[in-house]
């Protein structure tokens, strides 16, 4: 059973399986310096990801393009919110800098995401596509995974992205339908599922991927029903992680899900035909992302680091 959190509890002690080592290795500092030197943003920093020490020590970062200000108001996310007065035009040289960083880090699997930019006519589709092409040109052996927004349901803009040759198209459902209004105001569950279905239709060779957070008040049956919806829309890979409140401005955690429950979700997902299920307390969309395309027969549900570099 999940560990229930008393109402209004703010200083609850996290379970042992959620404790991570503070970052500070030489490799971590090298990655940080490269990212900062190229004036790039990462979701690792902006979203207060608990895995930043591990991933950056492995010279792995999830690049966040199109600035650090978001036009959405999701209640689980700590990324800064932008307005008409604060949002900046896209940096046309950013795709080249991301490609250079990927080549410099010698990545075999690069993950690129973005803030939502509903102020841009194509929602940043052309910028995503330019970034994919830049990575392929500067690091031709590197697979590219994109974690995109819902493009407001515009298939023609999604087509621009898929035509770039992306290897993995990721769009997170984030939570079960019942919690959408509370967790993802401005988003639509069926619209998000359609984006993932269309991605497969537009590029049958690309893998599709989606993830959710647990601990927001969902039930096991709701998660299993969501899995069924994912598979009905052809989604290949699923990630499941514990929701952790970034700051007191975001939604509180309703429950800490146990390692045994994550293992159960992994087993249920594989039964339903996902090619890979990454389930664990510290799992995030891009956590161990390089493994998700390396095999379709095994998965890992302990949410812990695996040795070596991607």
Sorted by where each starts, the structural domains of the chain and their CATH numbers stand as: 22-292 (3.20.20.70)
Span 109-168, pLDDT tens digits: 888 999 889 999 999 999 999 999 999 999 999 999 999 999 999 999 999 999 999 999
User: 308 pLDDT exceeds 50?
Assistant: no
222 Cβ contact partners less than 8 Å away, ≥ 6 residues apart: 176, 177, 178
Q: Which of 227, 215, 239 lies closest to 287, judged by CA?
A: 239
User: 291 pLDDT exceeds 90?
Assistant: no
17 Cβ contact partners less than 8 Å away, ≥ 6 residues apart: 258, 259, 281, 303
Can you give the pTM of this predicted structure?
0.82
Span 227-270, pLDDT tens digits: 999 999 999 999 999 998 888 888 889 999 999 999 999 999 99
Whether the Cβ atoms of residue 223 and residue 241 lie closer than 8 Å to each other: no
Higher pLDDT, 274 or 55: 274
């Amino acid at each position: 059973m999940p560990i229930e959190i008393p109402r209004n509890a703010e200083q609850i002690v996290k379970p042992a399986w959620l404790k991570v080592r503070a970052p500070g290795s030489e490799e971590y500092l090298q990655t940080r310096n490269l990212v900062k030197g190229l004036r790039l943003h990462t979701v690792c920093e902006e979203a207060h990801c608990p895995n930043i020490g591990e991933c950056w020590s492995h010279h792995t970062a999830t690049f966040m393009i199109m600035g650090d200000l978001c036009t959405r108001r999701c209640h689980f996310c700590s990324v800064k919110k932008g307005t008409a007065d604060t949002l900046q035009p896209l940096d046309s040289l950013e795709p080249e800098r991301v490609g250079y960083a990927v080549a410099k880090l010698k990545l075999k699997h690069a993950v690129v995401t973005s803030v939502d930019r509903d102020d841009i006519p194509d929602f940043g589709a052309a910028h995503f596509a330019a970034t994919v092409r830049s990575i392929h040109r500067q690091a031709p052996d590197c697979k590219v995974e994109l974690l995109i927004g819902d493009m407001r349901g515009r298939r023609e803009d999604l087509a621009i992205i898929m035509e770039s040759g992306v290897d993995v198209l990721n769009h997170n459902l984030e939570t079960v339908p019942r919690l959408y209004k509370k967790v993802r105001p401005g988003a639509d569950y069926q619209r998000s599922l359609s984006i993932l279905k269309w991605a497969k239709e537009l590029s049958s060779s690309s893998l599709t991927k989606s993830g959710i957070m647990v601990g927001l008040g969902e039930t096991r049956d709701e998660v299993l029903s969501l899995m069924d919806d994912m598979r009905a829309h052809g989604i290949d890979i699923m990630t499941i992680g514990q929701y952790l409140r970034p700051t007191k401005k975001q939604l509180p955690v309703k429950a800490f899900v146990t390692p045994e429950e994550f293992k159960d979700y992994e087993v249920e997902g594989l039964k339903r035909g996902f090619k890979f299920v990454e389930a664990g307390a510290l799992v995030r969309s891009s956590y161990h992302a390089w493994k998700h395309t390396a095999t379709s027969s095994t998965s890992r549900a302990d949410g812990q680091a695996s040795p070596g570099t991607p």
